[in-house]
């Protein structure tokens, strides 16, 4: 039988940086403090579950007294093809004497759809637990590092157009791309390939618009790297996003030319990178481009970590409409409602 912690009896702190999309991020530390009333009445095999938390684009949960870390399947099949190599340290803090903590180090293991949990069936006996309890409170830290992240896809098939990316060979159209600073750069394209990848390019290049009869098209206010990334995807079906800035530039461009797979990948990247420092900005982007899935992910993240976000300067800079949506959410986890009042006064 698993008992979920309710907000008025739990506390948590979070430190560390979220892993990036390649899994090469910092070590994440999650600390939950359980306040268990009538500790002496706790029965063997009773489990207490932490609220879910988000790391590397997935929801995780850990439990005590049978202790394990697990990935939550938030929708049917969402873990299929995903594998994550994780190193875990469980630490039971000595709250009574502030003496030596009790810890267990697990060897790195692979989490996947078939093996979504890992830990200890028995961490410590109830009798031994007594020296770690203070004021009916148990403090458990889980430190874990996502060392490698793999998403399995279909076998790669060589693309015959790889060599034509930005190549003048057989090119019948050029793009003069002018960025926000007025700098221009020429990129080469092929009308047939471009028209088949985007309804916007199809209209421009085949439907009798003025661009149909020109050999050079000017495109303004576009980041050069983003345009080349988009062009590369059109020819190779491959895309690499390395930063939130790249994702935002590419999202704007893919939305402009209605290239849906790139748009989806940019928004997926945003969801994977959400943390307490950028969630307001990502939520604003999701609203701008009408992505309900990303907006919902941001809303759920804010609900879990609003206590921390109330201390962040970025919260004062959040879009007013988004902040209102966050505060109206019935699922918010706030231990001190005075903090919300103080935020409203500052804002």
For residue 123, the domain's CATH number is 2.60.210.10
For residue 110, tell me if it sits in a domain: yes
Domain carrying residue 260: 162-265
Q: How far is CA 327 from the centre of its chain?
A: 21
* Count: domains in the chain: 3
For residue 286, tell me if it sits in a domain: yes
Residues 143 and 10 both lie in one domain: yes
Residues 199 and 133 both lie in one domain: no
Q: 78: which strand partners?
A: none
- What pLDDT, on a 0 to 100 scale, did the predictor assign at position 165? 95
Q: Tens place of pLDDT for every residue, the chain, 347 residues?
A: 333 332 222 333 333 333 333 333 456 666 666 665 665 666 665 666 777 877 777 788 777 655 667 788 877 777 777 888 888 877 777 777 767 777 777 778 888 888 888 776 666 776 777 777 777 777 777 777 778 877 776 666 667 788 999 999 999 999 999 999 999 999 999 999 999 999 999 998 988 778 778 889 999 999 999 999 999 999 998 898 999 999 999 999 999 999 999 999 999 999 989 999 999 999 999 999 999 999 999 998 988 888 888 888 888 888 989 988 888 887 776 655 666 656 665 66
Residues 243 and 282 both lie in one domain: no
Last residue of a domain, one of 236, 265, 294: 265
Closest CA to 86 of 113, 57, 109: 109
- What pLDDT, on a 0 to 100 scale, did the predictor assign at position 12? 33
Last residue of a domain, one of 265, 299, 334: 265
Residues 179 and 66 both lie in one domain: no
Residues 68 and 207 both lie in one domain: no
Tell whether the torsion through CA atoms of 39, 45, 49 and 55 is positive or negative: positive
Does this model's pTM top 0.85?
Answer: no
For residue 303, tell me if it sits in a domain: yes
Are β-strands 184-189 and 117-120 bridged in parallel, bridged antiparallel, or unpaired?
unpaired
CA 343 vs CA 48, 163, 336: distances in Å: 32, 55, 12
Closest CA to 117 of 103, 106, 129: 106
Q: How far is CA 282 from the centre of its chain?
A: 10
For residue 157, tell me if it sits in a domain: no
Last residue of a domain, one of 240, 265, 290: 265
Residues 237 and 296 both lie in one domain: no
For residue 156, tell me if it sits in a domain: no
Residues 247 and 316 both lie in one domain: no
Residues 91 and 147 both lie in one domain: yes
Secondary structure element (H or E) that encloses residue 174, with its range:
strand 173-178
Residues 6 and 145 both lie in one domain: yes
Residues 103 and 177 both lie in one domain: no
Q: Which CATH number does the domain housing residue 187 bear? A: 3.30.710.10
Secondary structure element (H or E) that encloses residue 255, with its range:
helix 244-256
The burial class, CB within 10 Å (0-12 / 13-18 / 19+), for 313 is exposed
- What pLDDT, on a 0 to 100 scale, did the predictor assign at position 322? 92
């Amino acid at each position: 039988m698993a008992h979920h912690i309710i907000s008025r009896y739990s506390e948590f702190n979070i430190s560390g940086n979220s892993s990036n999309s390649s899994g090469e991020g910092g070590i994440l530390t999650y600390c939950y403090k359980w306040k268990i009333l009538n500790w002496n009445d706790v029965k063997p095999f009773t489990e207490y579950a932490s609220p879910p938390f988000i790391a590397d684009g997935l929801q995780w949960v850990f439990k005590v007294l049978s202790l394990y870390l697990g990935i939550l399947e938030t929708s049917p099949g969402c873990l299929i093809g995903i594998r994550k190599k994780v190193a875990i340290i469980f630490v039971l803090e000595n709250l009574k004497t502030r003496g030596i903590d009790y810890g267990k180090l697990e060897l790195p293991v692979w989490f996947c759809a078939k093996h979504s949990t890992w830990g200890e069936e028995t961490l410590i006996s109830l009798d031994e637990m007594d020296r770690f309890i203070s004021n009916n409170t148990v403090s458990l830290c889980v430190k874990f590092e996502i060392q490698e992240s793999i998403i399995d896809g279909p076998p790669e098939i060589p693309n015959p157009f790889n060599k034509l990316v930005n190549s003048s060979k057989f090119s019948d159209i050029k793009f003069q791309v002018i960025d926000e600073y007025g700098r221009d750069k020429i990129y080469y394209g092929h009308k047939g390939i471009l028209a088949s990848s985007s309804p916007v390019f199809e209209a421009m290049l085949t439907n009798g618009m003025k661009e149909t009869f020109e050999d050079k098209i000017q495109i303004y206010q576009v980041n050069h790297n983003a345009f080349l990334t988009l062009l590369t995807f059109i020819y190779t079906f491959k895309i690499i996003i390395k930063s939130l800035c790249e994702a935002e530039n590419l999202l704007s461009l893919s939305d402009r030319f209605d290239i849906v797979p790139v748009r989806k990948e940019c928004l997926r990247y945003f969801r994977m990178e959400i943390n307490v420092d950028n969630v307001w900005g990502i939520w604003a982007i999701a609203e701008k481009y009408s992505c309900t899935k990303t907006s919902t992910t941001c809303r759920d993240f804010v609900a879990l970590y609003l206590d921390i976000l109330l201390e962040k300067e970025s919260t004062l800079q959040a879009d007013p409409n988004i902040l209102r949506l966050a505060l109206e959410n019935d699922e918010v986890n706030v231990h001190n409602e005075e903090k919300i009042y103080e935020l409203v006064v500052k804002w």
